[in-house]
Structure 1
Amino acid sequence: MTQNSEIHPALAPGTVQNLDLPNRYVLAPMSRASATEGGVPTEDMAKYYARFAQGGFGLLIAEGAYPDTTIAQAYANQPGLCTDAQQAGWKQVVDAVHAHGSKIILQLIHAGAVSQVVDAPHGPSPVRPDGHMLQMYGTKQGPYETPVELSEGDITEIKAGFVQAARRAEEAGFDGVEIHCANGYLLDQFLTPETNLRAAPYGGSVENRIRLTCEIISEVRAVCSKDFLTGVRLSQAKATQPDYFWAGGLDDAAIIFSAVAEAGASFIHLASERGGYAYHSSTKDGARLTKFARETTGLPVIANGGLEDCDLALEVLSNGEADFLAIGKSAMMNPDLPNRIANRQAPKEFTFELFSYGVSVSSQMKWEAEQSA
């Protein structure tokens, strides 16, 4: 890390809404496909998340849970939050994290057209998503299917699913939820004009295309306690379209950021795909979206993309481009990253060998055991 400063700004305390955090490091949500076949989080998942709390992460965002049992699930062994058993499974995860003094929120995600498990995936319009299904995430492989167009009744049920999942999350002890409108999943499919050919109220203008996300945020805020965080994850890129940018640049961003803030979002988490922070936290012509989100809304902003790099993290925080740093792949290799930074230890470099036995937590533990043998 930079040696001319006694304390890196990433180690300074911060606040999201009314939640005080000991540092600016956030565990990014990562799909680990480690729940039971019925979507119940396991004891291994509780131990896995507890490692990040022990390692100094002030806030953890748990991997995306599906909010209904009909058409929301994205991949096999994904955790859900629609049943009592799933809620009980998540409670053991929350308790394990809280026991080490960290906070944890749950990402809620609806796959929509990119589901790899639903018999008939649904989406805003009958437009087949670009690209191919993700390997190691389910029995379905090959090109995505053309989805069934969602009816108004389907959309009402989807909103109700997010709301009931958020209520269950609060009952399980989570400190908040993150509504997932990113990376090519359902709410991002509504935001994206190429996959949303609908008319009003949920299609057409940017204001209409972000409407469903905003309605979910406001309805969750209405049923959960005032201190329960309800953030939103946004991205330009998709999992299968890493070079996608919002066509309207800052004009689109101004509408999107202002809309989610007005709906009651507690924070904005801007995700980056393979291009990293410098590439995808900016518009195509180079305007920095994270800083623009802070200036437009006054909300805390979580940046993402290679921010385990201490010099880059210093630049982002010192320049007022973001308030918090979400760490993904590097955190899998360094569950103690904040403690390492505090002790001026270099992080271990990420390697895809970590997935030698698969993407699940138990597969990672098997690989780690081999490395230490």
Structure 2
Amino acid sequence: MTVHSVLAATRIGGLRLRNRAVVAPMSRVSTEGDGVPTADMAEYYARFAAGGFGLITTEGTYIDAEFSQSYSGQPGIVTAPQLDGWREVTARVHVAGGSIALQLMHGGALVQENPFRDRTLAPSAVQPKGVQMPAYGGTGPFALPEEATRADIRAIIAGFGAAAERARSVGFDAVEIHGANGYLIDQFLTDYTNLRGDEYGGAVERRIRFVVEVVRSVRAAVGAEFLVGLRLSQTKVNDFDHRWSGAAEAATIFRAVAAAGVDYLHLASEGRDWYDTAVLDTGETITRLARTITGLPVIANGGMHAPGLARTVLDDGHADLVALGRGALANPDWPRMIADGADPVEFDRAMLQPEVTLAQQRSWEHAHRPVFR
């Protein structure tokens, strides 16, 4: 049997990974409301490491006690107890042989619950599309955000850097900046949510300025050797149909963020499989274009739990690593299953519910044991 390409060791920046399988960030909102990572969360992340994943990305984590929190139960990287909780998470993952990145997140206009502020900030005062997600405790339309001032923008940019430094201090191997899925950074990148007339709005060359300054802030805070990634997407949690204008816009974004200092790009497909969002107007895939333009490692996301698709994406040069979300929930030992020739079990949508407990997940896994070929 040919060894699957995903099992080959690789390196991103200075971090050596045992394979090319990544756990994608998934909102689990599993704290007790104080943003403090729990013992169950430490076990949850450690299980992916024990299951053989090379890199684990945490759920989106709020960066300040101001405007960044998006959901009730979301973890933070702000207070001393939160730092202590994450320190336990990173220790457990390292003992199990894995590496772990903290995803730094600011919700912007897409806030469903934030105990720190009763208003939201965004690039422009534009009503968000869609409605809040019931699975995360929301109902009805999102609030109309206020337009962020330049002072607000400077504070948020500094907040990303400070949060990254705290993540490094508690043992994370990397940070991943959440620039995808319709949250704040993506709101600056998107033409219909960014109507600003200043240096942060207008053509894509100016809309990219905010994320460039966030990347620079993070890089300055953690130093040249620490791994910094960036997640981007065309689609959003509240707009599955959005696409960038084409390959030219994508190339502009990729060049700018690479020059700003990221070590890798993680290209997500919110609500869609990879094939549904991968192909650009030129016929090139967005992931391979990112590799060609930047020379950086690229992580592909969207349906990668299918061994055949993962192999194609890697072997045909579309990406360097693959990230699993729902496939990792269903198969926390997916890399070991691939190595052993087992068929990954089918995903059950019930496992996407953010507050599924570890006991419920173990029961579900026991009832869906894989069949070996």
Scaled by the length of structure 1, the TM-score of the pair is 0.95
Shift of 1:225: 3.1
Distance 2:104 2:278 in 1: 22
Shift of 1:216: 1.1
Work out whether residues 245 and 284 of structure 1, in 8 Å CA contact, stay in contact via their aligned partners in 2. Answer: no
Shift of 1:246: 0.3
Shift of 1:253: 0.7
> 1:29 corresponds to which residue?
25
> 2:93 corresponds to which residue?
97
> 2:330 corresponds to which residue?
333
In the TM superposition, 1:334-349 aligns within 5 A as 334-349=331-346
**Residue 360 (structure 2) pairs with residue 366 (structure 1):** yes
> 1:324 corresponds to which residue?
321
In the TM superposition, 1:260-271 aligns within 5 A as 260-271=257-268
Shift of 1:332: 0.4
Shift of 1:286: 3.9
**Residue 187 (structure 2) pairs with residue 193 (structure 1):** no
> 1:39 corresponds to which residue?
35
Distance 1:186 1:238 in 2: 11
In the TM superposition, 1:46-195 aligns within 5 A as 46-118=42-114, 119-138=118-137, 140-195=138-193
Distance 2:143 2:275 in 1: 33
Shift of 1:240: 1.4
Work out whether residues 247 and 281 of structure 2, in 8 Å CA contact, stay in contact via their aligned partners in 1. Answer: no
Cα 1:302–1:121 shift into 2, 3 Å: same
Shift of 1:169: 0.2
Distance 2:157 2:218 in 1: 9
Q: Secondary structure at the match of 2:135?
A: coil
Aligned Cα root-mean-square deviation (Å)? 1.4
Q: How many residues are aligned here?
A: 364
Cα 1:242–1:285 shift into 2, 3 Å: farther
Q: Structure 2 unaligned runs (5+)?
A: 368-373
Work out whether residues 271 and 281 of structure 1, in 8 Å CA contact, stay in contact via their aligned partners in 2. Answer: no
Which residue identity lines up with residue 105 of structure 1 in the other structure?
A: A
Q: Structure 1 unaligned runs (5+)?
A: none
**Residue 273 (structure 2) pairs with residue 279 (structure 1):** no
> 1:243 corresponds to which residue?
241
Distance 1:367 1:300 in 2: 32
Q: Secondary structure at the match of 2:22?
A: strand
Work out whether residues 245 and 283 of structure 1, in 8 Å CA contact, stay in contact via their aligned partners in 2. Answer: no
Work out whether residues 59 and 104 of structure 1, in 8 Å CA contact, stay in contact via their aligned partners in 2. Answer: yes
Distance 2:281 2:362 in 1: 39
Q: Render the CA deviation track for 1:291-337: whole Å, top value 9, x for unaligned.
A: 00000000000000111111111111111110000000010010000
Shift of 1:101: 1.1
Q: Secondary structure at the match of 1:257?
A: helix
Which residue identity lines up with residue 146 of structure 1 in the other structure?
A: L
Shift of 1:361: 4.6
Shift of 1:141: 1.0
Q: Secondary structure at the match of 1:104?
A: strand
**Residue 9 (structure 2) pairs with residue 13 (structure 1):** yes
Work out whether residues 247 and 282 of structure 2, in 8 Å CA contact, stay in contact via their aligned partners in 1. Answer: no
Q: Render the CA deviation track for 1:158-201: whole Å, top value 9, x for unaligned.
A: 01111111000000000110111110000000000100000231
Work out whether residues 45 and 361 of structure 1, in 8 Å CA contact, stay in contact via their aligned partners in 2. Answer: no
Q: Secondary structure at the match of 1:303?
A: strand
Which residue identity lines up with residue 369 of structure 1 in the other structure?
A: S
Distance 1:344 1:327 in 2: 18
Distance 1:289 1:14 in 2: 21
Runs of 4+ in 1 over 6 A off after TM superposition: none
Shift of 1:368: 3.6
Distance 1:103 1:213 in 2: 25
Work out whether residues 44 and 361 of structure 1, in 8 Å CA contact, stay in contact via their aligned partners in 2. Answer: no
Work out whether residues 53 and 97 of structure 1, in 8 Å CA contact, stay in contact via their aligned partners in 2. Answer: yes
Distance 2:365 2:274 in 1: 30
Which residue identity lines up with residue 337 of structure 1 in the other structure?
A: W
Distance 2:175 2:225 in 1: 11
Q: Which moved more, 1:320-329 or 1:82-91?
A: 82-91
Shift of 1:37: 1.0
Distance 1:11 1:369 in 2: 28
Distance 1:151 1:370 in 2: 48
Work out whether residues 28 and 61 of structure 1, in 8 Å CA contact, stay in contact via their aligned partners in 2. Answer: yes
Work out whether residues 162 and 221 of structure 2, in 8 Å CA contact, stay in contact via their aligned partners in 1. Answer: no
Cα 1:370–1:270 shift into 2, 3 Å: closer
Which residue identity lines up with residue 211 of structure 2 in the other structure?
A: T
Which residue identity lines up with residue 91 of structure 1 in the other structure?
A: R
Work out whether residues 163 and 220 of structure 1, in 8 Å CA contact, stay in contact via their aligned partners in 2. Answer: yes
Correspondence for 1:228 among 226, 251, 254: 226
> 2:213 corresponds to which residue?
215
Distance 2:174 2:282 in 1: 34
Which residue identity lines up with residue 159 of structure 1 in the other structure?
A: I
Distance 1:120 1:190 in 2: 18
Distance 1:367 1:176 in 2: 27
Shift of 1:39: 0.5
Q: Secondary structure at the match of 1:314?
A: helix
